[in-house]
Amino acid sequence: MNNIQNKFLSDHTSLSDNEYKIIFNLKLNNVFLYHVRISLEDKSINPNNLIKLLLPYCKYDEHLLIFSLCLRNGGNPNLYINFNDKKIHIIVYIYLLYNKNEDESIRNTMILLLIFSGSDYNLDSGFNSSCINYLNGIRVPHILSKKNIDH
């Protein structure tokens, strides 16, 4: 592990956003992932804060593991995140953030993890309509149709 990962493990509250960016742009090893899991389980890391910090950098399976651990340990599947001076639902945030074809697998996995954790895409998107209606209105291809989720 590098120095920033060691700092995360010893005192993650003192890390800057830039240091989180460095951590999440690295390949994460099993020892680091183990310590993240323990920190989430013993509540020394707030899972909602970790989700907010992690989301802009999700690109590896290890990131999805951390995302799912956050949800498993109390992370809010209906979290609202600051985006361009608005608070928007996490589902809409993920679709706006991961809008390229190469992001599709990561994006869809995160959306399904949220839905399986109880996320409600009928809640307000943050743009005065439900998440699903907002995404339909801006013509963002999504997997939120009932047909896709039930099968």
- 3-state secondary structure labels for all residues of the chain: CCHHHHHHHHHHHHCCHHHHHHHHHCCCCHHHHHHHHHHHHCCCCCHHHHHHHHHHHCCCHHHHHHHHHHHHCCCCCCCEEEECCEEEEHHHHHHHHCCCHHHHHHHHHHHHHHHHCCCCCCCECCCCCEHHHHHHHCCCCCCCCHHHHHC
Phi, psi of 127 (to 5 degrees): -120, 35
DSSP assignment string, 98-132:
S-SGGGHHHHHHHHHHHHHTT--TTSB-SSSSBHH
41-66: average pLDDT:
91
Per-residue pLDDT tens for 109-118? 999 999 999 9
pLDDT confidence tier of residue 108, bands split at 50, 70 and 90: very high
Work out the average pLDDT over 121-143: 93
Confidence of residue 122 (pLDDT cuts 50, 70, 90): very high
Per-residue pLDDT for 26 more than 90?
no
Per-residue pLDDT at 101 exceeds 80: no
pLDDT of residue 131: 95
The mean per-residue pLDDT over the stretch 130-134 comes to: 95
Amino acid 151: pLDDT: 42
Query: Per-residue pLDDT averaged across 92-106, rounded?
Result: 87
79: three-class secondary structure by DSSP? coil
Whether the per-residue pLDDT at 28 is higher than 80: the answer is yes
